[in-house]
Amino acid sequence: MKKTGLYFGSFNPVHIGHMAIANYMVEFTDIDQLWFIVSPQNPFKKKSSLLADHHRLALLNTAIDSSLLFKASNVEFHMPKPSYTIDTLAYLGEKYPDRKFVLIMGSDNLPTLHKWKNFQQIVENYEIYVYPRPGISIDDYVNIAKIVKVDAPLIEISSSFIRKSIATGKDVSYFMPAKVAEYVSEMHFYEKK
C-alpha cells in the first residue's frame, strides 16, 4: 500500500518553502508520494486575497514540473465550499483504496486542530506528519494519537510575505521556483492595481 502524504494549502503562491518541505517528506520519511491539495477556500481564511483556483493549481503544476514524487490535486474544487479536510480524506479513501493517506501540516496548525470539522476522527484514523514552524512546539502535542514529529529544517517563508512584497514593488523571485516566479511576473499577480 503506497503511503501518500497530503499537503493541504492555499498555495497562494507556492514558494520554495512549500517545495523544500515536500521534498523533505518524500526523501526523509516513509512517504512514497506527496499530493498538494489546493484548497479553494480554507474555512479559517478570507477568500478575497486568493488567486483564482486554476491559477494556483497552474503555479503548483509549474513548480512540480515532471517530478513523479509530487502531484497537484484539484479534488477540492469539485467539493462543497468551504472545504473540510475530513470530507476530502473520506473521498480520497474511497477513490484510492490502495493508498494509505497521511496528513502533512506545520506545527502552527496544531493549536486550532480541535476546531476542525470531526477533528477527533482525523486524529484517530490518520497519521499526521508535523513539521516545525516558528513559535509553536510540536512536543506539546505529540500525545495526540497519531502525530509524528518530523525534524524538517525550519523555513520562515510565507505566501503572505511574498504577496505583500510584490505589492510594494520588491523583487522576491528567488523565494519561488524560477518558473513560478516567471509566471507570477508575466501575469502581474499580487501587484498593486
Q: Specify the residue for cell string 514593488.
A: 169
Q: In the chain, helix, strand, coil percent, each to 5?
A: 45, 20, 40
| Ordered per-residue pLDDT tens for the chain, 193 residues | 899 999 999 999 999 999 999 999 999 999 999 999 999 866 565 656 789 999 999 999 999 999 999 999 999 999 998 889 999 999 999 999 999 999 999 999 999 998 999 999 999 999 999 998 888 888 877 777 689 999 998 888 999 999 999 999 999 999 999 999 999 999 999 998 7
Domain range list for the chain:
2-156
Q: What is the pLDDT of residues 140-161, one digit of tens each?
A: 777 776 899 999 988 889 999 9
Helix (H, G, I), strand (E, B) or coil at 26: helix
**CATH architecture label of 2-156:** 3-Layer(aba) Sandwich (3.40)
C-beta atoms surrounding 162 within 10 Å? 25
Q: For residue 141, what pLDDT is reported?
A: 77
Looking at residue 146, what DSSP letter applies? T
How many angstroms separate the CA atoms of 137 and 101, rounded? Answer: 24
The closest of 56, 48, 106 to 77, measured between CA atoms, is 56
Q: Residues near 125 by Cβ (< 8 Å), separated by ≥ 6?
A: 146
Amino acid 45: pLDDT: 59
